[in-house]
């Protein structure tokens, strides 16, 4: 009895200590350590184990052991929760089992040693544990000596087992909670990573313009969000769709990668569906065989987002989920959202590239020309960008100048310019010339609308060119031309008057020479008569010269109206006039043309008479006039079989007074062809020639159909 008072407080003190320690335990391992140590010490047990029912509720598994030699087989091993082991029986009977003497346990479970390969202890206590009336496991203690379990010890052990059960339950709860928190945190982390990727993508799309790089970034967003998946971007290449960029995991499948890079045909059913619908497409229950895509067995489902150019699919983003055969609603929405962002990014990139090209061009222009660049926003508020004109106009780059470029020049509003700008803001290209009096500058300004993907004008890029000098030069040229025209008119007038006035004295000289010859001819010696003859001939030549000059000046001064004229009738008149028995003048059918009949007569007369005059010795001169239709024009040809003309004179002979021969070989004034040229040009046509020296020449001229 003397030991009673000391044993009981010792056990209850231990229980107290265990309860306190268990309150602080966080894990099951902590719990078992705390329970097994005092149990063994207080009871002088040699070793102990904790067995737990697993989550299936059908098996017992070893959760902790203490006191056994490492590696030694014991009776307490994982196994089914049926009646063949003490722990299962204790649980089934809701009571502890105490085996106090050597052989008790083996007597109750004769097979146990053979089944487990372990050796039974001398005494053993098996304490079942329950949590909320559910079997949780058992606390088992082994003794090397026979052990009488006193009622206090039994209570102590049962309380310990109950405490253990509660602590295990709490640790399990804690564990589950932690798992849930962890899972939730992981989910949040994933969401945040996906969001980060999306933000990075959104930021990148603002600056990145390379289609493949953009696609790579979109795929990265998808990969982070979907995890176990493969992504790729395909572009059309003739009949095939070739993989251009892909997520890094695809490298692990070199055969598939090679196949996709080489290109897949449009006939692949999932691709055909995409090309047909031209909308995001989801393919579930992917079958490598049905789709005809080798090495793609790993995938359960795919999705594709088309990139349309001019309404046709030119490329697509693709995402394949590994092993997952279905697309959830939320995942579909995410895929569509990323696809749409990518699509917008591409449109934005295209617009940016176009704009960059324009701006590059304008910058280059700005370096080489007196130029001013500016841009407006969608409301037409101008900002000056740069240009060599800035300094000249006393302006600064980056200056915002209000709603009209005219505001630049301190209150010189120009309504026309406002209209042009408004047109550009409405999407049309506009162009304007504005003179700024106070600066003495005239600017030629282009307004170029820049549109976004949906065709709205987001800004107007403008370029102003200083055309002051160019306009001045133009004005100068016009002025000079006008002067020239006037002086030509005066010259023609003068030539007309001069030649007209010369006619009378020339006539007088030749008349008087004739009178001297008749009256005093017999009084003159041979030399005197030659002189007189020369006076007559000189006078005659001078008369021809004056006549020709008159004709030349009359081409302009006496212009008749252009009317339909029958060229055939005119030819016949001329041919009759020039007829001699020693020559042949012929024609083909000739058309009716728009002409001044008298000038056409003159033209044919000059060309035909030249053809007759410049003939070869011993060859009967032959001139033929033909005409060929050439659109609204008729091309006339006047061919002769005369001496021909060297090519180097083709231009010169049309100039006035230019002759290739002396008067001793061919009489002439060098005015005839100049007259011809003037007549043809006055009719709007052209005059030229082809010739083979020694064989003949052909003069061509064109006249409009009558
Ligand atoms: P001209 O009064 O001298 O004939 P034209 O102006 O008619 O003046 O011709 C200029 C020159 O062109 C002639 O002097 C002659 O040398 C050359 N010419 C014109 N027509 C012919 C022709 N049919 N064949 C060869 N030479 C020609």
pLDDT band at 105 (very low <50, low <70, confident <90, very high): very high
What pLDDT is stored for residue 459 in this prediction?
Answer: 74
Assess whether the C-beta atom of 663 lies below 6 angstroms from ligand 1.
Answer: no
Assess whether the C-beta atom of 169 lies below 6 angstroms from ligand 1.
Answer: no
What pLDDT is stored for residue 322 in this prediction?
Answer: 94
What pLDDT is stored for residue 551 in this prediction?
Answer: 85
- The model's pLDDT over 7-37, given as tens digits with 9 standing for 90+, comes to 445 777 888 888 888 878 878 888 898 888 8
Provide the CB-side half-sphere exposure for 138 (13 A, CA). 29
For 290-341, what is the HEC assignment? HHCCCCCCCEEEEEEEEEEECCEEEEEEEEEEECCCCCCHHHHHHHHHHHHH
* % of the chain at pLDDT higher than 90: 41
Separation of alpha carbons 28 and 44, rounded Å: 24
What pLDDT is stored for residue 625 in this prediction?
Answer: 98
Q: Whose CA is nearest to atom 13 of ligand 1?
A: 659
Antiparallel, parallel or unpaired: β 312-322 and 299-309: antiparallel
Residues 58-87, mean pLDDT to the nearest whole number: 88
**What would you report as the CA-atom Rg of the chain, rounded to the nearest whole angstrom?**
58
Assess whether the C-beta atom of 137 lies below 6 angstroms from ligand 1.
Answer: no
What would the two tokens of residue 241 be? Answer: 């769709």
Separation of alpha carbons 80 and 57, rounded Å: 9
Assess whether the C-beta atom of 653 lies below 6 angstroms from ligand 1.
Answer: yes
Assess whether the C-beta atom of 380 lies below 6 angstroms from ligand 1.
Answer: no
- φ, ψ of residue 521 to 5 degrees: the values are -60, -45
What would the two tokens of residue 465 be? Answer: 């060119």
Assess whether the C-beta atom of 218 lies below 6 angstroms from ligand 1.
Answer: no
Token pair 């407080």 in the structure block, residue? 9
User: How far apart are the CA of 626 and the centre of ligand 1, in A?
Assistant: 20
User: How far apart are the CA of 673 and the centre of ligand 1, in A?
Assistant: 7
Token pair 């060119």 in the structure block, residue? 465
Assess whether the C-beta atom of 371 lies below 6 angstroms from ligand 1.
Answer: no
**Residue 422 in this model has a pLDDT that exceeds 90:** no
User: How far apart are the CA of 606 and the centre of ligand 1, in A?
Assistant: 9
Separation of alpha carbons 144 and 527, rounded Å: 179
* This prediction's pTM: 0.40
Assess whether the C-beta atom of 164 lies below 6 angstroms from ligand 1.
Answer: no
**Residue 406 in this model has a pLDDT that exceeds 70:** no
Assess whether the C-beta atom of 322 lies below 6 angstroms from ligand 1.
Answer: no
Residues 268-288, mean pLDDT to the nearest whole number: 95
Question: Ligand 1 pocket test: which of 541, 546, 610 has the largest number of ligand atoms within 8 Å of its C-beta?
Answer: 610
Assess whether the C-beta atom of 689 lies below 6 angstroms from ligand 1.
Answer: no
pLDDT band at 305 (very low <50, low <70, confident <90, very high): very high
User: How far apart are the CA of 676 and the centre of ligand 1, in A?
Assistant: 11
What pLDDT is stored for residue 685 in this prediction?
Answer: 93
- The model's pLDDT over 146-164, given as tens digits with 9 standing for 90+, comes to 999 999 889 888 988 888 8
Separation of alpha carbons 259 and 280, rounded Å: 23
Does 354 or 582 have the greater pLDDT score? Answer: 582
pLDDT band at 142 (very low <50, low <70, confident <90, very high): very high
Separation of alpha carbons 218 and 200, rounded Å: 10
Residue 238 and residue 326 in contact, taking contact as beta carbons nearer than 8 Å: no
Residue 689 and residue 677 in contact, taking contact as beta carbons nearer than 8 Å: no
Assess whether the C-beta atom of 553 lies below 6 angstroms from ligand 1.
Answer: no
Q: If you ran DSSP here, which 8-state letter would residue 359 be given?
A: H
Assess whether the C-beta atom of 673 lies below 6 angstroms from ligand 1.
Answer: yes
Question: Ligand 1 pocket test: which of 673, 676, 677 has the largest number of ligand atoms within 8 Å of its C-beta?
Answer: 673
Q: Would you state the torsion angle of the CA atoms of residues 200, 205, 207, 209, taken in this order, to the nearest 10 degrees?
A: 140
* 321-330, 333-342, 418-427, 683-692: the lowest-pLDDT one: 418-427
Assess whether the C-beta atom of 643 lies below 6 angstroms from ligand 1.
Answer: yes
Q: Residue 124's beta-bridge partner residues?
A: 99, 142
**Residue 448 in this model has a pLDDT that exceeds 80:** no
What pLDDT is stored for residue 409 in this prediction?
Answer: 45
Assess whether the C-beta atom of 336 lies below 6 angstroms from ligand 1.
Answer: no
Provide the CB-side half-sphere exposure for 29 (13 A, CA). 0
Assess whether the C-beta atom of 642 lies below 6 angstroms from ligand 1.
Answer: yes
What would the two tokens of residue 148 be? Answer: 């009488």
User: How far apart are the CA of 671 and the centre of ligand 1, in A?
Assistant: 9
* % of the chain at pLDDT higher than 70: 85
What would the two tokens of residue 1 be? Answer: 């009895």
Assess whether the C-beta atom of 281 lies below 6 angstroms from ligand 1.
Answer: no
**411 Cβ partners below 8 Å, 6+ apart?**
none
What is the per-residue DSSP string for 215-228?
A: HHHHHHHHHHHH-S
What pLDDT is stored for residue 419 in this prediction?
Answer: 63
Residues 636-663, mean pLDDT to the nearest whole number: 93
pLDDT band at 560 (very low <50, low <70, confident <90, very high): confident
- The model's pLDDT over 337-390, given as tens digits with 9 standing for 90+, comes to 788 888 878 877 777 676 666 666 656 655 555 566 666 666 666 666 666 666
Q: Would you state the torsion angle of the CA atoms of residues 397, 403, 409, 413, taken in this order, to the nearest 10 degrees?
A: 160
**Residue 72 in this model has a pLDDT that exceeds 70:** yes
Separation of alpha carbons 612 and 665, rounded Å: 14
Token pair 């660049």 in the structure block, residue? 373
* 74-83, 92-101, 280-289, 629-638: the lowest-pLDDT one: 74-83
Q: Residue 19's beta-bridge partner residues?
A: none
Question: Ligand 1 pocket test: which of 609, 672, 675, 698 has the largest number of ligand atoms within 8 Å of its C-beta?
Answer: 672
**Residue 435 in this model has a pLDDT that exceeds 80:** no
**397 Cβ partners below 8 Å, 6+ apart?**
384, 385, 386, 390
What pLDDT is stored for residue 614 in this prediction?
Answer: 96
Q: How many CB atoms lie within 10 A of CB 199?
A: 11
Alpha helices in 394-452 (DSSP H): 415-425
- φ, ψ of residue 463 to 5 degrees: the values are -140, 130
**201 Cβ partners below 8 Å, 6+ apart?**
217, 218, 220, 221, 338, 341, 345
What pLDDT is stored for residue 414 in this prediction?
Answer: 46
Q: Whose CA is nearest to atom 19 of ligand 1?
A: 610
The atom of ligand 1 lying closest to the CA of 669 is: 2
Residue 141 and residue 43 in contact, taking contact as beta carbons nearer than 8 Å: yes
Q: Whose CA is nearest to atom 11 of ligand 1?
A: 659
What pLDDT is stored for residue 563 in this prediction?
Answer: 92
What pLDDT is stored for residue 86 in this prediction?
Answer: 94
Residue 245 and residue 219 in contact, taking contact as beta carbons nearer than 8 Å: yes
Residues in the chain: 706
**Residue 410 in this model has a pLDDT that exceeds 50:** no
**Residue 588 in this model has a pLDDT that exceeds 90:** yes
* 306-310, 349-353, 685-689: the lowest-pLDDT one: 349-353
**Residue 480 in this model has a pLDDT that exceeds 90:** no
Q: Whose CA is nearest to atom 2 of ligand 1?
A: 668
Residues 55-76, mean pLDDT to the nearest whole number: 89
Question: Average pLDDT of the chain?
Answer: 84
What pLDDT is stored for residue 676 in this prediction?
Answer: 96
Does 37 or 242 have the greater pLDDT score? Answer: 242
Give the DSSP H or E segment for 557. helix 526-557
Assess whether the C-beta atom of 669 lies below 6 angstroms from ligand 1.
Answer: yes
The atom of ligand 1 lying closest to the CA of 606 is: 7
What pLDDT is stored for residue 316 in this prediction?
Answer: 96
Provide the CB-side half-sphere exposure for 568 (13 A, CA). 5
Assess whether the C-beta atom of 608 lies below 6 angstroms from ligand 1.
Answer: no
Assess whether the C-beta atom of 676 lies below 6 angstroms from ligand 1.
Answer: no
Q: Cα 366 vs. chain centroid, distance in angstroms? A: 25
The atom of ligand 1 lying closest to the CA of 658 is: 10
Question: How far is CA 13 from each of CA 32, 127, 310, 569, rounded to the nearest angstrom?
Answer: 19, 20, 87, 150
Assess whether the C-beta atom of 670 lies below 6 angstroms from ligand 1.
Answer: yes
- The model's pLDDT over 505-529, given as tens digits with 9 standing for 90+, comes to 888 888 888 888 888 888 888 888 8
Separation of alpha carbons 218 and 392, rounded Å: 48
Residue 85 and residue 109 in contact, taking contact as beta carbons nearer than 8 Å: yes
Residue 701 and residue 636 in contact, taking contact as beta carbons nearer than 8 Å: yes
**Residue 282 in this model has a pLDDT that exceeds 90:** yes
- The model's pLDDT over 44-61, given as tens digits with 9 standing for 90+, comes to 889 999 999 988 889 999
Assess whether the C-beta atom of 696 lies below 6 angstroms from ligand 1.
Answer: no
CA angle (388 as vertex; 386, 391 as ends), nearest 5 = 90
Most confident of 72-86, 244-258, 659-673: 244-258
């Amino acid at each position: 009895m003397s030991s009673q008072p000391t044993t009981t407080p010792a056990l209850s003190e231990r229980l107290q200590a265990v309860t306190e320690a268990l309150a602080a335990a966080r894990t099951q391992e902590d719990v078992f350590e705390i329970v097994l140590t005092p149990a063994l010490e207080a009871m002088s047990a040699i070793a102990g184990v904790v067995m737990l029912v697993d989550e299936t509720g059908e098996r017992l598994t070893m959760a902790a052991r203490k006191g056994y030699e490492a590696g030694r087989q014991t009776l307490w091993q994982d196994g089914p929760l049926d009646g063949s082991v003490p722990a299962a029986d204790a649980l089934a009977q809701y009571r502890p089992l105490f085996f106090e003497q050597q052989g008790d346990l083996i007597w109750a479970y004769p097979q146990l040693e053979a089944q487990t390969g372990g050796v039974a202890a001398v005494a053993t206590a098996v304490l079942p544990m329950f949590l909320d009336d559910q079997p949780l496991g058992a606390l088992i203690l082994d003794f090397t000596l026979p052990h009488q379990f006193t009622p206090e010890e039994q209570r102590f052990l049962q309380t310990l087992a109950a405490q253990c059960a509660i602590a295990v339950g709490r640790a399990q709860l804690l564990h589950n909670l932690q798992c849930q928190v962890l899972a939730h945190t992981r989910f949040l982390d994933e969401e945040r990573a996906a969001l980060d990727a999306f933000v990075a993508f959104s930021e990148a799309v603002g600056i990145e313009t390379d289609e493949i790089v953009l696609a790579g970034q979109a795929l990265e967003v998808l990969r982070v969000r979907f995890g176990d998946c493969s992504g790729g971007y395909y572009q059309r290449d003739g009949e095939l769709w070739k993989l251009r960029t892909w997520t890094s995991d695809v490298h692990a499948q070199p055969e598939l990668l090679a196949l996709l890079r080489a290109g897949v045909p449009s006939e692949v059913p999932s691709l055909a569906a995409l090309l047909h619908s031209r909308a995001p497409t989801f393919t579930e229950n992917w079958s490598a065989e049905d789709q005809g895509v080798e090495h793609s067995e790993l995938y359960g489902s795919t999705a594709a987002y088309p990139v349309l150019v001019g309404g046709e699919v030119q490329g697509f983003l693709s995402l394949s989920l590994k092993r997952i055969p279905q697309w959830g609603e939320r995942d579909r929405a995410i895929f569509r959202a990323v696809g749409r962002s990518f699509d917008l990014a591409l449109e934005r990139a295209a617009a940016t590239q176009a704009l960059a090209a324009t701006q590059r061009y304008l910058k280059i222009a700005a370096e080489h020309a007196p130029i001013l660049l500016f841009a407006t926003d969608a409301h037409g508020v101008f900002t000056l960008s740069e240009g060599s004109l800035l300094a000249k106009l006393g302006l600064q780059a980056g200056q915002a100048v209000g709603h009209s470029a005219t505001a630049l020049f301190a209150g010189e509003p120009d309504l026309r310019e406002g209209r042009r700008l408004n047109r550009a803001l409405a999407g049309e290209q506009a162009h304007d010339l504005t003179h700024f009096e106070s600066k003495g500058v005239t600017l030629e300004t282009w307004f170029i609308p820049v549109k976004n993907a949906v065709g709205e004008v987001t800004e107007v890029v403008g370029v102003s060119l200083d055309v002051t000098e160019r306009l001045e030069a133009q004005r100068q040229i016009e002025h000079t031309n006008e002067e020239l025209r006037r002086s030509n008119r005066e010259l023609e007038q003068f030539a007309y008057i001069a030649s007209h006035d010369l006619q009378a004295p020339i006539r007088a000289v030749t008349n008087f020479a004739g009178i001297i010859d008749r009256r005093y001819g017999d009084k003159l010696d041979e030399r005197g008569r030659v002189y007189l003859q020369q006076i007559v001939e000189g006078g005659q030549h001078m008369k021809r010269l004056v006549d020709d000059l008159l004709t030349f000046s009359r081409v302009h001064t006496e212009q008749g109206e252009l009317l339909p004229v029958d060229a055939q009738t005119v030819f016949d008149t001329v041919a009759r006039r020039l007829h001699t028995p020693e020559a042949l003048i012929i024609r083909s059918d000739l058309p009716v043309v728009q002409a001044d009949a008298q000038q056409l007569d003159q033209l044919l007369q000059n060309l035909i008479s030249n053809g007759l005059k410049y003939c070869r010795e011993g060859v009967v001169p032959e001139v033929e006039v033909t005409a060929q239709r050439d659109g609204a024009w008729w091309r006339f040809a006047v061919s002769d079989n005369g001496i021909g003309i060297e090519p180097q004179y083709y231009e010169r002979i049309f100039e006035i007074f230019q002759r290739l021969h002396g008067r001793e070989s061919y009489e002439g004034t060098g005015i005839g062809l100049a007259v011809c040229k003037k007549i043809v040009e006055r009719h709007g046509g052209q005059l030229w020639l082809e010739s083979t020296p020694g064989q003949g020449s052909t003069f061509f001229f064109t006249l409009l159909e009558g």
